[in-house]
Amino acid sequence: MEITYASPSFSDLRAAATSSSMPSSARPVRIIPLQHPTATTSSSSPPNAAFSRWTAKLRRMTWMEWIEFFLPCLRWIRIYKWREYFQVDLMAGITVGVMLVPQSMSYAKLAGLQPIYGLYSGFVPLFVYAIFGSSRQLAVGPVALVSLLVSNVLGNIADSSTELYTELAILLSLMVGIMECIMGLLRLGWLIRFISHSVISGFTTASAIVIGLSQAKYFLGYDIDGSSKIIPVVKSIIAGADKFSWPPFVMGSIMLAILLVMKHLGKSRKYLRFLRAAGPLTAVVLGTVFAKIFHPSSISLVGDIPQGLPKFSVPKSFEYAQSLIPTALLITGVAILESVGIAKALAAKNGYELDSNQELFGLGVSNVLGSFFSAYPTTGSFSRSAVNHESGAKSGVSGIVLGIIMTCALLFLTPLFEYIPQCTLAAIVISAVIGLVDYDEAIFLWRVDKKDFLLWTITSTTTLFLGIEIGVLVGVGVSLAFVIHESANPHIAVLGRLPGTTVYRNVKQYPEAYTYNGIVIVRVDAPIYFANTSYIKDRLREYEVDVDCSKRHGPEVERIYFVILEMAPVTYIDSSAVQALKDLYQEYKLRDIQIAISNPSPEVLLTLSRSGLVELIGKEWYFVRVHDAVQVCLQHVQSLKGGSNSPQAPFSSLEDKPSLFARLSKERGEKLSITDLESGNGRPPLPKERDSQLEPLLSKDH
């Protein structure tokens, strides 16, 4: 339905459409009426509606859907094709298991724990995640970044050789699991979205360097400072240079070269893909055989590892729980960013949907139950998950196979692990974290977005020189500062009309777009709230003064009479913004400037209606389209030009004036169409045979 504006002097716009007093040759202004909120709409509560939809969804759930909600494994069990999937799942589980056994011992050493606790952490959590986890390809277990975080925080509380250190690592697993479960149940995973990818990349890059340096002691043959800051570690390496030992350095370097070559061949050649997973096992076997045959005294070995499965035990040392909360939160954040991100990517590649909050809950349950069997915090591994996917894993069966391999290793293979050289495990860690040094991301950010590159640089630098916790806090703080700055200083565009259309776009993006004399069209590309109201008001004042007359059309007037706010991008407006609009309206009113609102969303319009701003500005100044607002404002500008240009002529006096087109015809001695008003030329009206339903467009030479 359309409403015809024949003149602003008509109080009944519908009557104006059929009024015979309108000049026959003057083209009427046809606009689409804006639907204002009714009393029923304004009294309804959106949160209640959302809650009703949620409860209705719960009522529609069948008993099978409820079981699948708590046991996601049933989703793939129901559709599992044993003949087709079991063989590939078996091979994928064996492949990743060959990779996990040596890696878990290496990461345990990185965490400051005995290698056996790495094997324990790769035991119970695997079976639990296969049941409660929703990803079918994610490989959980010890990872380098979490191991570094554990070592960094626990090293300040207890000595790594004490029993308290081990108890705190197990307690940390329980705390991380509880936090992940709570965040998953309350669906709070979205909180981590505020951490920029640049922060994560810079943090992991710096952490990888710290991890690599922390393993240098096994290559150099002497102890170095276990700090997470790069300067103390480098100083310690230099200070102990006189204790350097060649045998572990040569052996570690050879093992590292073997690992890197096998990883490269496995990635670059499909038929050699198995080499990527077999690399850690190959290094362990070669190192063990060498140590068993030659018994080198200058190369330290892993030593005795207890045989058998872990026993059930309740985590201890709860008096230290408060001091572990920050690290538990940080590890939970890493789990969300790394594990859930990997899981969602793998789910998309394999054609199934994954709920990130349910995935977080599954990780939490695996950590909670793992803590009762001497496991330290675990999460999804990027490298092992990639190998699992590339090996063709189709379901959680590959995770169960992986758990069985870890069980066999604990029951039968631990006596063989006694002769693994420490430098070999260090080489496995270094080869794994080299891929975390994301210099390609830094180059990409430098080319694409200097601000993100600055964020990456700040995060990586502070993590390297000030420590992991401070690095994360600074990175997240700067990231949030950028978000707040962008929100408090939103993009605001002056719109112009594209020639030959009724489309209005940013005049900076489309230089050919033109504006109209006496009218400023402004689009705010963000929600309006307390933090950005002052900025928006300042920019509106600038646009009122800074007028580019080179591409302006329409009646020639000396100043701005109308400000049209295009509010389509504005998804939210708060009480502070409402008050700011009221102040702006009063300020404009003193200078005889009228505000018009175009295309507000239902939520924004409801807020404006409840606040009384709709009645204050006037319902007739709310429009569906920018073009509707421009047409009406053009008529008013023409009436102002034809009548008094005195600042003392208020807009309220327009109601007492005669018909706009009649007055124009009388004063100028000719009848103008809307096209003439828009172009600013006193041309004859458009031919009568032209379709009156078409939008008024400029003449071809405009």
Residue 90 has pLDDT above 70, yes or no: yes
Residues 222 and 361 in one domain: yes
To the nearest whole number, what is the mean pLDDT of the chain?
A: 81
Structural element, H or E, at residue 318:
none
Residue 193 DSSP label: G
Query: What distance in Å separates the CA atoms of residue 167 and residue 317, rounded to the nearest whole number?
Result: 7
Report pLDDT digits (tens) over 179-198: 999 988 888 877 777 778 88
Domain count, the chain: 2
Report pLDDT digits (tens) over 3-19: 444 333 333 333 333 33
| Local confidence band at 45 (pLDDT 50, 70, 90 cut-offs) | very low
| Local confidence band at 694 (pLDDT 50, 70, 90 cut-offs) | very low
Residue 345 has pLDDT above 90, yes or no: no
| Local confidence band at 353 (pLDDT 50, 70, 90 cut-offs) | confident
Report pLDDT digits (tens) over 609-655: 999 999 999 999 999 999 999 999 988 888 776 654 443 343 433 33
Report pLDDT digits (tens) over 642-693: 654 443 343 433 334 443 334 433 443 343 444 444 444 443 343 444 343 3
The pTM score is 0.73
Residue 422 lies in a domain: yes
pLDDT at residue number 38: 66
| Local confidence band at 54 (pLDDT 50, 70, 90 cut-offs) | low
Query: What distance in Å separates the CA atoms of residue 417 and residue 405, rounded to the nearest whole number?
Result: 15
Residues 143-157 have a mean pLDDT of 89
pLDDT at residue number 472: 83
Residue 73 lies in a domain: no
Residues 413 and 493 in one domain: no
pLDDT at residue number 642: 61
Residues 201 and 173 in one domain: yes
What CATH number is given to the structural domain containing 557?
3.30.750.24
| Local confidence band at 66 (pLDDT 50, 70, 90 cut-offs) | confident
pLDDT at residue number 36: 75
Q: Output the CA angle 350-384-172, nearest 5 degrees.
A: 115
Higher pLDDT, 379 or 200: 379
Report CA 644 to chain centroid distance, whole Å. 55
Residues 105 and 225 in one domain: yes
Structural element, H or E, at residue 4:
strand 3-5
Give percent of the chain above pLDDT 90.
Answer: 39
Query: What distance in Å separates the CA atoms of residue 73 and residue 128, rounded to the nearest whole number?
Result: 10
Residue 109 lies in a domain: yes
Write out 592-637 in H/E/C secondary structure.
Answer: CCEEEEECCCHHHHHHHHHCCHHHHHCHHHEECCHHHHHHHHHHHH
pLDDT at residue number 389: 87
Residues 422 and 463 in one domain: yes
DSSP-assigned letters across all residues of 23-59: -TTSPPEEEPPP----HHHHH--HHHHHHHHHHHHHH
Residues 285-299 have a mean pLDDT of 89
Residue 413 lies in a domain: yes
pLDDT at residue number 28: 61
Residues 441 and 520 in one domain: no
Query: What distance in Å separates the CA atoms of residue 556 and residue 10, rounded to the nearest whole number?
Result: 25
Residue 152 lies in a domain: yes
Report pLDDT digits (tens) over 484-502: 898 899 999 999 999 989 9
Residues 391-396 have a mean pLDDT of 86
Residue 666 lies in a domain: no
Residues 422-437 have a mean pLDDT of 89
Region of poorest pLDDT, from 50-64, 75-89, 162-176, 347-361: 50-64
pLDDT at residue number 150: 92
3-state helix, strand, coil in the chain (%, to 5): 60, 5, 30
Residues 403 and 367 in one domain: yes
pLDDT at residue number 546: 67
Report pLDDT digits (tens) over 570-597: 999 999 999 999 999 999 999 889 999 9
Residues 356 and 503 in one domain: no
Structural domain boundaries enclosing 455: 87-480
Residue 351 has pLDDT above 80, yes or no: yes
Residues 450-478 have a mean pLDDT of 90
Residues 523 and 396 in one domain: no
Residue 673 lies in a domain: no
Residue 294 lies in a domain: yes
| Local confidence band at 311 (pLDDT 50, 70, 90 cut-offs) | very high
The answer to whether 593 and 561 have CB atoms below 8 angstroms apart is yes
Question: Of the candidates 458, 480, 502, which is a domain's last residue?
Answer: 480
pLDDT at residue number 548: 61
Question: Of the candidates 587, 614, 640, which is a domain's last residue?
Answer: 640
Residues 444 and 522 in one domain: no
Residue 310 has pLDDT above 60, yes or no: yes
Report pLDDT digits (tens) over 91-136: 889 988 888 999 999 999 999 999 999 999 999 999 999 999 888 8
The answer to whether 94 and 380 have CB atoms below 8 angstroms apart is no
Residues 465 and 503 in one domain: no
Higher pLDDT, 319 or 383: 319
Give percent of the chain above pLDDT 70.
Answer: 83
Q: Report which residue type is found at 548.
A: D
Question: Of the candidates 640, 666, 689, which is a domain's last residue?
Answer: 640
Q: Output the CA angle 285-291-296, nearest 5 degrees.
A: 155
pLDDT at residue number 304: 86
Residues 205 and 352 in one domain: yes
